[in-house]
Structure 1
Amino acid sequence: MPINKQFLKSRPEVKVTFAVEKVAAEGAEQVLLLGEFNQWQPIELKRMKSGEFKATLNLPTDGPSHFEYCYQLVHSDGESRYDNDWAADAYVPGPFGRDNSVVRVDT
């Protein structure tokens, strides 16, 4: 699950593309991104023809140096589970007994 970052010169932001590869999605019908950057409100990732899921967000660089996030994989039968980004910048213990992924936004 790669993340790609592009630091913007014109604004104090970094454009971050979150991606969940087909194999990591494990047959999920829907993938949601939840993170500190939007008060843990789900953002649906777009399913690509390749089976990969992607979303691009602009995150501020003039605040915290990093944000925690995770993915929610939703299957067609309604079953869901949470997973971390395999390529996160780091991992930190979360409040529900599992780690959260970390994306660093400092330069």
Structure 2
Amino acid sequence: MVSKEFTPKKTICKVRLQIPAEWAEAEAVVVGDFNNWDPAANKLEKKNGGWETVLRLKPESEYKFRYFLDGERWENDDEADRYEENEYGSQDSVLVIGDGN
């Protein structure tokens, strides 16, 4: 699940990413343009029956991302705003952050 909530001044968009518990046994991370594709930067926490994290992203931007699961498997988000081909012959999920209006 992807949900977006802007701060009152609309300078930051808080994006909550949630994936089902069965997608990963031991570790789930989200990597993308927002963290230079660093698998150590944004680990998801196991809670509420799944894995989740909250990212703080700039409005009026787009970010490619994917989930890296159990240190071996890549997955896209079913609720991404769209998908784009990547240089590895697969697709990346894309988050589109508007201006908050």
TM-score normalised by the shorter chain: which range applies? 0.7 to 0.9
Q: Structure 2: any 5+ residue segments left out of the alignment? A: none
Deviations 1:26-77 (A, max 9, x none): x421101001011111211001152x00000110115xx3100000110xxx
The structure 1 segments of at least 4 consecutive aligned residues displaced by more than 3 Å after TM superposition are none
- Partners of 1:66 and 1:45 in 2: how far apart? 21
> Residue 65 of structure 2 is aligned with which of 69, 73, 76?
69
Q: Which range moved further: 40-49 or 13-22?
A: 40-49
SS at match of 1:44: coil
Distance 1:28-1:103 versus aligned 2 partners, 3 A rule:
same
Q: 1:9 deviation in Å?
A: 2.6
Q: Structure 1: any 5+ residue segments left out of the alignment? A: none
> Residue 31 of structure 2 is aligned with which of 26, 29, 34?
34
2:55 aligned with 1:57, yes or no? Answer: yes
- What is the match of residue 104 of structure 1? 96
- What is the match of residue 12 of structure 2? 13
Percent of counterpart pairs with the same letter?
25
Distance 1:101-1:10 versus aligned 2 partners, 3 A rule:
same
- Partners of 1:28 and 1:104 in 2: how far apart? 29
Equivalent AA in structure 1 for residue 38 of structure 2 = Q
- Partners of 1:46 and 1:28 in 2: how far apart? 12
2:85 aligned with 1:87, yes or no? Answer: no
- Partners of 2:79 and 2:26 in 1: how far apart? 21
